[in-house]
A and B are shown apart, each in its own frame.
Chain A
Amino acid sequence: MHGTAAAGAASNPETGAPRRLFLSAQGIAKAYGGVKALNGVSLALREGEVHGLVGANGAGKSTLIKILAGLTAADAGRITIDGAPVTIAAPHEASALGMSFIHQELAFIPEMSVIENIMLGLPKPSRLGFIDWRAIARDIAPIAERVGLNTPFHAKARSLSTAEAWLVNICRALVRKSRLLVMDEPTASLSAREAERLLAIVEDLSRSGVAVLYVSHRLDEILRLCHSVTAFRDGESVADLSGDALTRERLMEAIVGGNVETMPAEARANHDRGTVALKVRGLARAPMVRGVDFELHHGEVLGIGGLVGAGRSELARLVYGADRPHEGAMELAGKPYAPSSPTAAVRSGLGFVPEERRSEGLILTKSVAFNMQLANLANIVRSPALPLIDTRKRRSQTEAIVKSLAVKTPDTETTVGRLSGGNQQKVVIGRWLLRRPNILILDEPTRGVDVGARGEIHRLIREIAAEGMAVMVISSEPDELPDLCDRILVMVEGRITRELTGEDMTRNAIVSASYASAA
């Protein structure tokens, strides 16, 4: 399962020489109001080593990274670099100490060009008082090539795909000659191939002596990439694993704090597929969706696999009325269905968990309860004629979902923007579990969600399907769909090119179908 990376943590696999300690953090604590995000964690990072950081949603991983980056201050603890104590009071101080960060919520300036973003905050060579962009471009070109960034340097950053945005950020780190690169869930929004390339870049960096701190919920990646791993649970470091101790079982145990039950195979398909809930014929909106036909049944979980950019999210938006199709028709339980807006779709019994939770899913300044109840308001008013909110109903319903999804939040009135990334995702899913539509479309439902909660979300999806709901799941993670779905469609360049059922639903079948060109 793990490759070369499982070699000894404190020594270089090639030369056998011990690796030098770059950064050490001890007893780091941080509380937000009453919430203890970190309660005295420790971490040691060595040159040329990829160090994994794992833990459930809200365990404190991003918080530690924000402290190292100088974005927030620790309440207690000690950080040393090359053995000397340091204080990191602002982001530019972190970067002067040789650290680069790629945060969970990517940061770049959309209106600036790629090259301006790469050089942001760095001294730039100038000629006659003007910044010499040509010289800069010449210097950067080999670095861009090394990471495989093919976009023109003058392109606006807003036009970048998520994968390209990551590459730009990595370039930035390389241009700065950083000694430590910190990545918070880098592959969460990348396709399989892009993720593969990123992993190769990370391996390359570590060979050249850069220390990497790598945060991920994907254990396969951690096992393949990391020389050593620290696990956080509830703001404490609970395990440091390396060498032979670094196994999937030990990781799971450290993250969840006990044994995790993986979903038994018979949990699925032990019920009959129901009647057709949604029928789609020739649906098209060029250039992303180019003639799609499929049927979705009550009681089934239908997976849509494929690469990022294959048109899957765009298809979901057409079905949900967020965009209007140019061609094609849909039927809902046998009746024509042409939603003019998401409002109309919701009224017809659909629900949708969008891909981008922060920009499309949540009102970040509002509370957990507010966000969860947004599609369920009709059920928590005292009467349709007098639409006053029944606050008791609102709280008890929200609490029930918070509990069943294990959302880590002090209470239901906490501002959603203060939750950790994975917990925010659970809130968006919780919204539709409350409303219980007839058809639920989920776009990347477990992005950034920890292993325990991921199993729980899968179980809930199976459960609502067993109750008769028709569920459509889009996922770029090839491992996710076979576990979860009754049937999988693979989309390539705006068309459905493959249907997989039963034994054929494997990771490999999805991946190879995704890369086959749409004939």
Chain B
Amino acid sequence: MTDISTSHRRLSPGTKAGLAFFARYATILGLIAMIVAFSLLSPRAFPTLLNFTNVLNQASLAIIIASGLTMAVIVGELDLSVGFAASLHGILVTGLIVATGLPIPVAILVVLAVGALVGLVNGLVVTKLKVNSVIATLGIGTILTGLAFAYSAGVPIVSGVPEAFLEISLGRWLWGIPNNIVVMAVVVVALWVLVERTSIGQEIQAVGGNPAAARLAGISVDRIKILGFVISGMCAALTGILLASRLGSGTASAADGYLLTAFAAVFLGSATLRDGEFHILGTVIGALVIAVGFNGLNIFGAPTFSQYMLQGGILIVAVGLSSLGRSIAER
């Protein structure tokens, strides 16, 4: 509302169209450029079906947790607890199987329910106690880390993890597609349909777009926000479970790093195809950009520190692109 007085420099129509195009397609072009460059630089290791399957398999967990996070940001909140929550859930699921002796499917269901519960608590604290979501989820995430250490008494649960549990992550579906990819695809499609094609999805988008107007249109804003947190919590639980299965152990802070990856993917995604709007498909593309980038670094044997630098750099570029897209759309 203030741009009249703060006097933006105006853009010519051509520049504006060019910038809008750049902001929308930069991530996709970047992804293609990376794939082409890596393929040319490492024609034997990179452009193989095996490697692509691997990258996608690796990326699956990040895509799941980032898709969940997307639900929280679409309704206009941040969920900083996802990484810590996933770590706790990894310990919990192994603990329930190994120490408590629950059957694997029951343990998984219990952990998913706990994930939903964590989301519910996040949502209630944000909507009912009116605590800013950054603070609320950071606080709850830290509490979850505490719980993870308490539950495992600081010692990773490594021995006695049954083969069948490891098989979840190692196993393959029809045509040899790894289970992780199948689970990821199911989650992505389900959330995409929910947001883009259902009446609840319309309400979710309305709450994200203008909560005051959504409320006066008769939408229960609090319930929609809580739903966003619950889905985010469940996706974090799923990621925690799959990670524990892949690692064959439950380790405190094993999944903490997913927080940053998920945020980078979500913001990169918001600058993709739409002008600074969060959406599931964008998040998937964002996560793939990061995964391909890491894969390339690995293939060329780049040192670990470069991965951190890449991730931090991507996060900043992503947020920059996202707000560029939004400001162009507003002009």
The yes or no verdict on A and B being binding partners is yes
| A-to-B contact residues, CB < 8 Å | 69-73, 89-92, 101, 103, 105-109, 117, 120-121, 320, 322, 341-343, 345-347, 352, 354, 359-366, 370, 373-375, 377-378, 380-381, 387-389, 431
Q: List residues of chain B with CB within 8 A of the CB of A72.
A: 10
Q: Is B309 located at the chain interface by the 8 A CB criterion?
A: no
Q: How far is the CA of A345 from the CA of B8 in the complex (A)?
A: 42
Given contacts A378-B199, A388-B197, A389-B201, 20 further A-B contacts (CB under 8 A): A71-B3, A73-B12, A91-B5, A107-B1, A107-B2, A117-B5, A121-B5, A320-B216, A322-B216, A342-B216, A343-B219, A347-B218, A354-B216, A360-B213, A365-B329, A366-B206, A374-B218, A380-B199, A389-B198, A431-B217
Q: List residues of chain B with CB within 8 A of the CB of A370.
A: 202, 205-206
Do residues B199 and A381 form an inter-chain contact, with CB atoms below 8 A?
Answer: yes
Do residues B213 and A363 form an inter-chain contact, with CB atoms below 8 A?
Answer: yes
Q: Is B45 located at the chain interface by the 8 A CB criterion?
A: no
Q: How far is the CA of A117 from the CA of B10 in the complex (A)?
A: 22
Do residues A91 and B218 form an inter-chain contact, with CB atoms below 8 A?
Answer: no
B47 CB to nearest chain A CB (Å): 39
Interface string of B196-226 (1 = CB under 8 A from A): 0111111101100110111111111000000
Q: Is B7 located at the chain interface by the 8 A CB criterion?
A: yes
A398 CB to nearest chain B CB (Å): 13
B93 CB to nearest chain A CB (Å): 31
Q: List residues of chain B with CB within 8 A of the CB of A352.
A: 216
Q: How many residues of B contact A (CB 8 A)?
A: 34
Query: Could you give 20 example pairs across A and B, Cβ below 8 Å?
Result: A70-B10, A72-B10, A90-B10, A106-B1, A107-B5, A108-B5, A120-B5, A341-B215, A342-B216, A343-B220, A346-B218, A359-B212, A360-B216, A362-B213, A363-B213, A365-B329, A370-B202, A375-B217, A381-B199, A389-B202
A108-B2, A366-B206, A387-B198 known; A342 vs B215 contact (CB < 8 Å): yes
Q: Which among B5, B202, B209 is the interface contact of A365 at CB below 8 angstroms?
A: B209
A90-B7, A322-B216 known; A363 vs B210 contact (CB < 8 Å): yes
| B-to-A contact residues, CB < 8 Å | 1-5, 7-10, 12-13, 193, 197-203, 205-206, 209-210, 212-220, 277, 329
Q: How far is the CA of A352 from the CA of B200 in the complex (A)?
A: 21
Do residues B199 and A377 form an inter-chain contact, with CB atoms below 8 A?
Answer: yes
Q: How far is the CA of A89 from the CA of B9 in the complex (A)?
A: 8
- Which chain B residue has the least Cβ–Cβ distance from A31? B13
Q: How far is the CA of A318 from the CA of B212 in the complex (A)?
A: 16
Q: List residues of chain B with CB within 8 A of the CB of A71.
A: 3-4, 10
Q: List residues of chain A with CB within 8 A of the CB of B217.
A: 342, 346, 374-375, 431
With most chain A CB atoms within 10 A of its CB, the pick from B3, B5, B12 is B5
With most chain A CB atoms within 10 A of its CB, the pick from B1, B193, B215 is B1
A365-B277, A388-B198 known; A375 vs B206 contact (CB < 8 Å): no
Q: How far is the CA of A441 from the CA of B13 in the complex (A)?
A: 42
Q: List residues of chain A with CB within 8 A of the CB of B329.
A: 365
A109-B5, A364-B209 known; A387 vs B215 contact (CB < 8 Å): no
Q: How far is the CA of A416 from the CA of B199 in the complex (A)?
A: 19
- Which chain A residue has the least Cβ–Cβ distance from B277? A365
Closest 8 CB pairs of A and B: A346-B218, A363-B209, A377-B199, A107-B4, A374-B217, A91-B7, A343-B220, A387-B199
